[in-house]
Homo-oligomer: A and B are copies of this chain.
Amino acid sequence: MAKKSLSSGRREESLSQERIIEASIELLDSSGESGLTFRALAERLATGPGAIYWHIDNKTDLLTAACDAIIARTMQESRSGDTAKQSIRAVALGIFDAIDAHPWVGSALTHAPGQLPVVRILERIGQQVRAMGVPADKQWATVSALLNYILGVSGQNAANTHMARTRGLDRANFLGAIANDWSQLDPVEYPFTRSIAGQLPIHDDRLDFVAGIDLILDGL
């Protein structure tokens, strides 16, 4: 954290962590991860880069804070679920959808191990795993398996949409291009990849995601 702001609204329309983070999210959503620069941010906030540094220590912290804002909202919205399993599914799907809407959150989560946004998720899952009656000595392994799976899917999903954007394609066309690459691999060395290439562009990510969650939950 940067030096704390002691007075609120000392000037009209003054800068604040909140305003900076909000503007960052807008920038990230509209221009992707590479769209967040201190210069672009300064322009949007009608100030200079130096002013931002009074409120934010560095870009890494800013990205983590923006990610945390999204995750915090997501956790608030997905408080539903009758059983523990359903709650876990709800949290997982909430994250999935959040990353679908804000791809940069996926890579931010992946690069901030042990930080607040990840802890929010960890806590939620942990409470439900406990509620399921998983013995204490297996709670860690269970929760970390779930968390790592979720973060893995997050990262891949984020990377997919990012690469698609980079190449100027929409998601479907991008997956189609990869499927095409796969189907042209050596039949002897890559029989399996070739055989499932066709499923890549048409399968339902979201459905397969919960299937994976269930697979882990069923293994308990």
A residues bordering B, Cβ < 8 Å? Answer: 107, 110-114, 119, 122-123, 126-127, 130, 139-145, 147-156, 159-160, 162-163, 175, 178, 181-182, 185, 189-193, 196, 199-200, 203, 208, 211-212, 214-220
Interface of A is mostly: helix
Q: Report if A142-B215 is in contact (Cβ < 8 Å); known contacts: A123-B193, A155-B155.
A: yes
Q: Which of A112, A152, A160, A212 has the most CB of B within 10 A?
A: A152
Mind listing 29 A-B residue pairs with CB under 8 Å? A110-B156, A111-B162, A112-B159, A113-B160, A114-B175, A114-B200, A123-B189, A123-B190, A126-B193, A127-B191, A130-B192, A139-B196, A140-B203, A140-B208, A141-B208, A142-B215, A143-B192, A144-B212, A145-B149, A145-B208, A145-B211, A149-B149, A150-B152, A152-B153, A155-B155, A215-B219, A217-B219, A218-B218, A219-B219
Give the residues in chain B near A162, CB-CB below 8 Å.
111
Q: Which of A107, A114, A219 has the most CB of B within 10 A?
A: A114
> Is there an interface contact between B155 and A151, defined as CB atoms closer than 8 Å?
yes
Give the residues in chain B near A155, CB-CB below 8 Å.
110, 151-152, 155
Give A54 to B106 CA distance when docked, in angstroms.
34
A149 to chain B, nearest CB (A): 5
